[in-house]
Structure 1
């Protein structure tokens, strides 16, 4: 083979190699670009989700005319999504006499009790800026019907032990102290070195399913139990 032919062949091979390398680089760049776009999209959604839900603290005005010497401070914590407030509020109050703390949960629509406890735990870092949770003396929740998981568990255990008859408050307290509710409350209180001393449900009675919509209107109650332990909310006294 002449030098001219060899040189021409070598140039042709080099030209082809450059084209192949250029093609490979293009594929790599396109792949990286698509990967980055996907990652940026995921990060953007994550940030957007985090920014959409905001936990806010509201200082409650204490009426000096009759609450002076009674409450030292009071705050409500809630979540805002866009321009809407989630149907869950957590109120905390500190008493002047002994610096004891009361925690109250407010919701007008049914939810899960397990989710409610999770929400309280999420809120704790902000709560602890204003309250010493070692002084937590009581908790208050809406009636069981507002928590589908809670009312289901309690009703099943209740009917197995008592049927559908009302029981005395002492029996009710003993029942709740050994219930699914106590398991959840005990786990929550344990982080503060607290335990449950007793439960109270003012005006306790059994609510039949046909009356559920009076308390939780527009709710699908197909999977709810035939009756629910009911009253003026659930109070948990700690020690």
Structure 2
């Protein structure tokens, strides 16, 4: 079920790059036959109000663009917003690995110590993450369906927060809180109805109950205290 998330202000300006977007003619080498290409999207009217710089980083291997890219923007207040973008499911560990491999290139353009927003696909798009979070939730709360505020508190103590804090530690940044638009739980019997764009062969291995929202899990970040 595809829908568009209304994110907090620091993430509102996401748009896909148009045909007029400028592409870096000298893509950065990554590992072996993989390179990183930069695309400079045209600014929308909203971008012009809030942003001073937007770059998308695409990974290419064997002349093909991988189903993973990063959209990073800098606001007029110098804060940095990051989107991890992909169409299909992938392992969260792999997404973090790909992000990490792009860091040296990204840091040529942005000061990641000023990152205050990260947008991930909802965990249903990360089989390893959705299973791990479900196991942690079941251990603490069983089949009880927590209210939104209590669930956000659970996420703050989860392995997801630990992973993100470890990743951003080098930039002296940590998770502040999560925002999930239209938060709800979904039982396994309804997975194919709610997630028609995900293969039933993948969904059949998912836990009995998971949480979901509208397309993105928004993560607010802050400077470590």
TM category, shorter: 0.7 to 0.9
Matched, 1:237 2:220: yes
TM-score by length of 1: 0.73
Aligned twin of 1:3: none
1:113-160 C-alpha deviation (Å, 9 max, x unpaired): 111111111101111111111110011100101111110011112223
Q: Are the structure 2 counterparts of residues 66 and 126 from structure 1 closer, same or farther at C-alpha, using a change threshold of 3 Å?
A: same
Match of 2:176 among 171, 179, 197: 197
Aligned twin of 1:214: 196
Shift of 1:163: 3.1
Q: Identify the structure with bigger relative contact order (alpha carbons < 8 Å, sequence gap 6+).
A: 2
Q: Are the structure 2 counterparts of residues 191 and 234 from structure 1 closer, same or farther at C-alpha, using a change threshold of 3 Å?
A: same
Match of 1:170 among 149, 163, 176: 149
Secondary structure, aligned partner of 2:173: coil
Higher gyration radius (CA): 1
TM-score by length of 2: 0.77
Aligned twin of 1:4: none
Match of 2:124 among 145, 159, 165: 145
Shift of 1:74: 0.7
Match of 2:37 among 42, 49, 56: 56
Aligned twin of 1:88: 68
Q: How many pairs align?
A: 188
Which structure is higher in strand share? 2
CA distance in 2 between counterparts of 1:215 and 1:186 reads 30
Matched, 1:122 2:101: yes
Question: What RMSD over aligned residues (CA atoms) do the two structures have, in Å?
Answer: 1.7
Which structure is higher in helix share? 1
Matched, 1:69 2:52: no
